[in-house]
Amino acid sequence: MPEYLPTAPYRGTRDFLPAEMSVRSQVFGTLYEVLERHGFLRYDGPLLEPAEIYEAKSGEEIANQQLYTLTDRGGRRLALRPEMTPTVARIIAGNAGSLQFPVRWYSHPNCHRYERPQRGRVREHWQVNADIFGSDSANCEIEIFELIHGMLTALGASEDMFLVRANDRQLLTAALTGVVGVTGEQLGPVFSLVDRWEKYEAERLAADAAEIGLSDKQFARLGEVLGAGPALLDELPSEVKQASHLVRVLESGSAGLVRFDPLIVRGLAYYTSTVFEVFDTSPENNRALFGGGRYSDLAGLFTAQQIPGIGFGMGDVTLMDFLATHDLTPRPRSEVDVVAIPVTEDLYDAARTVVTRLRAAGLRASVPLELRKLGKELSRADRAGARAVVIVGQEEWDEGNVTVRGLATREQRQVAMDSAPAAVAELLSD
C-alpha cells in the first residue's frame, strides 16, 4: 500500500499548470473575441443533465458505452454531458417564448466521454460550440463558414493551412440514388460506408459494398461520385440543387470559404442537410480538426416547435495540435510585469504602497513574499518574466524616491515615487 495518494490526474483528464493555462487563455480569449465580433452571444448550462436526454437521441455508442452516469440520492439518473447540443436544445426549447429568433449563441463547456485515451482523445475535453438557431436560410451556412475562417485566422492561421470540406446530405442522397442506383434501404449503410471511405483500404471498402448489395459496377461508380469533388454538381438535377443551402453558398461571394466534397457525411444522426469538416492541410497533421452541420429540428425531444439550426463544436485537443503543427501556439505570458523590492523588512509597507500605484496604472505587480538578498530577488523577478523592478531603499524612500531598474538593460535611475508607474511603463514599452 502506498504511503501517499498518487498525484497523476484521473486517466484521460488533464492538469493545466499556469504556463499552459496562459497559452489556453490567450487562444480561447481570441476565439471569444472573434465570436462576439460576429454577433455570437455566450451562454452556459449545467454539467449534470438527466441521462435520458442523451439516451434518446445520441448515437448508440455514446449513450451505451461512453456516457458517465450516476444516480443521485433522490434516484434521479444523471449524466456528465458528453456534448453541448442536448443542453442547448433544452435551454432553447424552455425559453423559446421569450427569445427573438434567429439567435447566434456560443459556449465553452467541458464535456466528458469514457474513451480509451489516445492521441486526440481524452475523457474530459473543452469544446467551443457555436450555433445559429431558428433560421433555415443559407445565410446561416455562410456566417458559420465566415466564423470558422475568422476564428482560425485570428489565431494566426493562413487560409492555406486549413480547408473546410462541406457536403449536403440531400445532394449526396440524390447522387447515390440517381447516379449510383442505391436503393432507399441501402442508403443508411452506404452513408456509413462513405464515412469510412478515407480511413479504409480499397479492398475492405469493396467487400463492405458487396455486403450491402452493390455490384462491382456500382462500387466503381460510387468511387467516381465520391472522388468527383465540385464536378459532381453538374450531374445532379437542378431542382435538387435549387433546394440546397450549400449550393447557394457556392454561388455566393462566399464560395471561396468552402470546398464541396461528396466524401463528407458526418456520423452524427441529427444532421439533415449541410455537413462540414475542417481539415488541417499539413501533411504532418492531415486530419479533421472539427466539424458540424445543419439540423432541421433541434429541440424535438423537448417541444413541438420545430427549430432548425446549424453549428459546430471545436475541441481543444485537435485545435491545440493544429496550432502546434503550424507553429502558431502563443507563448505563455510573463507571470508579472514588475516587482517592487523592499531592501529591508521595515520597507514592506512602502513597497506595498508602490505596488498599489503600479497596479492602478494597469501593471501586473507584486512584492516578494519573503525578504531575500537583492541579487537573488533580481534573478527571481527575471525568471518570472518581469522586465522591470522598483527597488525601495530607506534613504531614497525618506526623500520620496525609489529606484527603477530595467532587468534586461540593468540600467537604473532614481525617480520620485509618484513617477514610478510612468517610468516602469516606459521601460516595458521599449
To the question of whether residue 173 is assigned a binding role by annotation, the answer is no
- Stretch 208-267 residues interacting with its own copies (CB under 8 A): 252-254
Nearer to its own copies, 134 or 406 (CB): 134
- Asked if 319 is part of the footprint of its own copies (rule: CB under 8 A), the reply reads no
Instruction: Select from 104, 169, 221, 266 the one that contacts its own copies (CB under 8 A).
Output: 104
- Asked if 288 is part of the footprint of its own copies (rule: CB under 8 A), the reply reads no
18-37 helix and 316-325 helix, angle to the nearest 10 degrees: 100
Q: In this structure, what are the phi and psi dihedrals at residue 146, rounded to the nearest 5 degrees?
A: -60, -40
- H/E stretch holding 356: helix 348-360
Q: How far is the CB of 119 from its own copies (least distance, A)?
A: 19
Q: How far is the CB of 380 from its own copies (least distance, A)?
A: 7
Rg, the chain, Cα only: 28
- Asked if 4 is part of the footprint of its own copies (rule: CB under 8 A), the reply reads yes
- 3-class DSSP assignment, residue 61: helix
Distance of CA 101 to the CA centre of its chain: 25
To the question of whether residue 271 is assigned a binding role by annotation, the answer is yes
Instruction: Select from 179, 336, 425, 428 the one that contacts its own copies (CB under 8 A).
Output: 336
The residues, ordered by sequence, that sit 6+ positions from 422 with a Cβ below 8 Å of its Cβ are: 361
Nearer to its own copies, 76 or 217 (CB): 76
- Stretch 363-422 residues interacting with its own copies (CB under 8 A): 363-370, 380, 383
- Stretch 79-98 residues interacting with its own copies (CB under 8 A): 80, 90-91, 93-95
* Residue whose C-alpha is closest to residue 403's, from 391, 416, 417: 391
Nearest-angstrom CA–CA distance, 274 and 244: 8
End-to-end CA distance of the chain: 57
- Asked if 48 is part of the footprint of its own copies (rule: CB under 8 A), the reply reads yes
Q: How far is the CB of 117 from its own copies (least distance, A)?
A: 11
- Asked if 53 is part of the footprint of its own copies (rule: CB under 8 A), the reply reads yes
Q: How far is the CB of 421 from its own copies (least distance, A)?
A: 12
- 3-class DSSP assignment, residue 422: helix
Q: How far is the CB of 346 from its own copies (least distance, A)?
A: 11
Nearest-angstrom CA–CA distance, 129 and 131: 7
Q: How far is the CB of 371 from its own copies (least distance, A)?
A: 9
- Stretch 297-316 residues interacting with its own copies (CB under 8 A): 301-304
Q: How many residues contact its own copies, by CB under 8 A?
A: 92
Q: How far is the CB of 184 from its own copies (least distance, A)?
A: 29
To the question of whether residue 4 is assigned a binding role by annotation, the answer is no
To the question of whether residue 127 is assigned a binding role by annotation, the answer is yes
**Which cell numbers hold the place of 133?**
438557431
Instruction: Select from 288, 352, 412, 428 the one that contacts its own copies (CB under 8 A).
Output: 352
To the question of whether residue 113 is assigned a binding role by annotation, the answer is yes
* Residue whose C-alpha is closest to residue 144's, from 124, 128, 155, 120: 128
- CA triplet 6, 9, 15: central angle to 5 degrees? 130
Region of 132-140, 282-290, 322-330, 414-422 interacting with its own copies (CB under 8 A)? 132-140
- Asked if 28 is part of the footprint of its own copies (rule: CB under 8 A), the reply reads no
Question: Residue for cell digits 449534470?
Answer: 48
The residues, ordered by sequence, that sit 6+ positions from 324 with a Cβ below 8 Å of its Cβ are: none
To the question of whether residue 85 is assigned a binding role by annotation, the answer is yes
Nearer to its own copies, 123 or 221 (CB): 123
- Asked if 70 is part of the footprint of its own copies (rule: CB under 8 A), the reply reads yes
CA distances to 146, 198, 419 from 249, in Å: 11, 25, 58
- Asked if 121 is part of the footprint of its own copies (rule: CB under 8 A), the reply reads no
Residue 180, beta-bridge partner list: none
Nearer to its own copies, 43 or 271 (CB): 43
Nearest-angstrom CA–CA distance, 287 and 284: 9
Nearest-angstrom CA–CA distance, 15 and 180: 50
Residue 300's Cβ-count burial label (10 Å; 0-12, 13-18, 19+) is middle
**Which cell numbers hold the place of 37?**
465580433
Nearer to its own copies, 198 or 251 (CB): 251
To the question of whether residue 124 is assigned a binding role by annotation, the answer is no
Q: Tell me: cis bond preceding 102? Omega within 30 of 0 counts.
A: yes
Region of 177-185, 197-205, 234-242, 348-356 interacting with its own copies (CB under 8 A)? 348-356
Region of 133-141, 194-202, 312-320, 323-331 interacting with its own copies (CB under 8 A)? 133-141
Binding site residue list for L-histidine: 83-85, 113, 127, 131, 266, 270-271
